[in-house]
Amino acid sequence: MKPNELSFDIATLRAAYLAGSVTPAQVVSEALRRIGDDPHRAWIRVLPAGELQARAAALADRDPATLPLYGIPFAVKDNIDLAGVSTTAACPDYAYVPEKSAFVVQRLIDAGAIPVGKTNLDQFATGLNGTRSPYGACRNAFDPGYVSGGSSSGSAVSVSLGQVAFSLGTDTAGSGRVPAAFNHLVGLKPSLGLLSASGVVPACRTLDTISIFALTADDAHRVFSVAQGFDAADAYARPAEPHGFDFGRAAAFRLGVPRRDQLEFLGDAAYAEAFDAALGHARALGAELVEIDFAPFLETARLLYGGPWVAERYQAIRDFIDARPEAVFPVTREITLGGARLLAADAFAAQYRLRALKRTCDAVWNEVDAVLTPTAPTHPTIEAMLAEPVLRNTELGLYTNFMNLLDYAAIAVPAGFTPGGLPFGVTLFAPAHQDVPLLHAASRWQRALSGRAATLGATGVPLPAAAEVAPALPSGQVRVAVCGAHLEGQPLNWQLTQRGARLVARTHTAPVYRFHALAGGPPLRPGLVRAAEGGAAIEVEVWELPARHFGSFVAGIPAPLGIGKTLLADGSSVPGFICEPAGLDGAQEITQHGGWRAFLAARAAAPHS
């Protein structure tokens, strides 16, 4: 395949590199060709061709298989440092040239990725629309008359147009999610502290995180796997914790949705209809939709710009804006200087209210695994945004502003298009450290889309074939396959559920087992035995339980049963029930029934003597 015909999603690029059909030098040349004269105003600075070719040449003698992001071109939001390249935060008079790259950027470069340049943004990351830049309003990838979303505007547009494979943004109030929704992308807003903020110009230091834009959820997962890592130099960094139950891969999961009367689309009927369609998509994936009271989330969102976090934005650039107020973009200056008037007492009052709201909001996790909302209530034109810049921008944060205040992880995913041809997106969110289940859920969501919705950004290229991505973080969970009395609804299922186990999948073993009803009892027990020949596929359920409870579960299993490895129909192996050969003495073979429930039903229907 010629470079100009190559999709820039990571899976496709990596396959091309491994096959030897393309080189990093060809890819960076193609990236420069696609950027051209940048009519969308996505870039503040593109690195010179010579520098990019030097970076590509440094990979020439490396084996692509040894670097997870070998030769993958990416963009960096221009409030994140790239060594030797000016960081402007979209304010030319603020610019400085860092000696070293941001912690996350360096991790990506070390993994083989090639930074192509620095992207446009709402100045000092203050805004959700993409118009607040002296480098020009960044234009939407689908319709240049509409906002791109911000503040990570150029980062999203460059990926959507297929100029780079992924990009880094930042997210304080939705800047990693709103641009994803408006440009048909995946936008991962990780748990706070998992991606280092070292080398990032802060907006609100206590709330900021680097975010990831990608064409697919699997690509976002690949980048997150490389980028995350504890940085002791970042005072707000924290180590990753096990994520627990992986609802993203479960056969059934509980998904919270705002009550119908609490949804707001600002009169945009197309967005309202698109969200209804998204609810249907969620149900088709096995989600049980649970209506929740969204009022405390909305109140939390209003705290962001009505409370002390505006003062934190002022503090981030205090020395500069006090000395050079005229150098700051007018609407950004107005908002930021408003933070100088707040009192310390206001900060404490807002913190008290936030603490109470978080207690209320967190209670939802007793009822659901994740929550689904629209990413934005509507999609305004650039003209409408410039006419009322503060009001229109505030509206865009309706479903995003609360996220970092409440310390949740979130991922924005494509969900289709409006009749007018503009993308519509939704957001899934969950408690901190649930990044991997969210990524799995987003991948499953995206791969179940069809038609135009199942394309990459604004490129029109179909999704690539699915490929397994190693989880970026540990789960702290153990999966176990059960085939008898521990099945859902059976007498011993409580031994799983009381340990917090959740059903992940209903499936079958590989066709290599023989199945028996063991002698003795009660209770009646099954015996699953690997067969050298003449085996069959047997119905099983896969459950997931916390690793700390797995030992006590196994300890309660009586002989001749135990736990070994069960080979499933998809070729994977999980811990599962096995039977010692001695336990088959006097047993009745029931392989022909194909599962425990079918055997019990046949037994109940049989005439008794």
Active site residues: 77, 151, 175
Query: How many angstroms separate the CA atoms of 216 and 314, rounded?
Result: 35
Sheet holding 539-546, edge to edge: 502-508, 539-546, 477-482, 573-579, 561-567
* Helix (H) and strand (E) counts in the chain: 19, 21
Query: How many angstroms separate the CA atoms of 514 and 537, rounded?
Result: 8
Query: How many angstroms separate the CA atoms of 524 and 491, rounded?
Result: 10
What tokens does 56 get?
């590509």
3-state secondary structure of 241: coil
Phi, psi at residue 249, to the nearest 5°?
-120, 10
- Which residues does residue 509 pair with via DSSP β-bridges, in sequence order? 568
3-state secondary structure of 85: strand
Query: How many angstroms separate the CA atoms of 295 and 264, rounded?
Result: 12
Phi, psi at residue 488, to the nearest 5°?
-55, 130
What tokens does 295 get?
């009022």
Query: How many angstroms separate the CA atoms of 573 and 141, rounded?
Result: 43
Number of alpha carbons in the 13 Å side-chain half-sphere of residue 561: 24
For Cα atoms 598, 601, 604, give the angle at the middle one, nearest 5 degrees. 150
Q: How far is CA 511 from CA 210, 227, 532, 540, 589, in A?
A: 46, 41, 11, 12, 16
- Which residues does residue 85 pair with via DSSP β-bridges, in sequence order? 82
3-state secondary structure of 601: helix
Residue 134: Cβ-neighbour burial (10 angstroms; 0-12, 13-18, 19+): middle
Give the residue among 319, 318, 521, 396 at the shortest CA–CA distance from 146.
396
Bond prior to 522 in cis (omega within 30° of 0) = yes
Bond prior to 239 in cis (omega within 30° of 0) = no
- Cβ atoms of residues 541 and 454 within 8 Å: no
Query: How many angstroms separate the CA atoms of 585 and 583, rounded?
Result: 6
Q: Are strands 253-258 and 461-462 parallel, antiparallel or unpaired?
A: unpaired
Q: Are strands 526-530 and 573-579 parallel, antiparallel or unpaired?
A: unpaired
Give the residue among 401, 214, 388 at the shortest CA–CA distance from 304.
401
Give the residue among 113, 180, 114 at the shortest CA–CA distance from 152.
180
What tokens does 354 get?
């936030």
- Cβ atoms of residues 528 and 485 within 8 Å: no
Query: Tokens 């030097």, residue?
Result: 54
How many C-beta atoms lie closer than 10 Å to residue 55's C-beta?
20
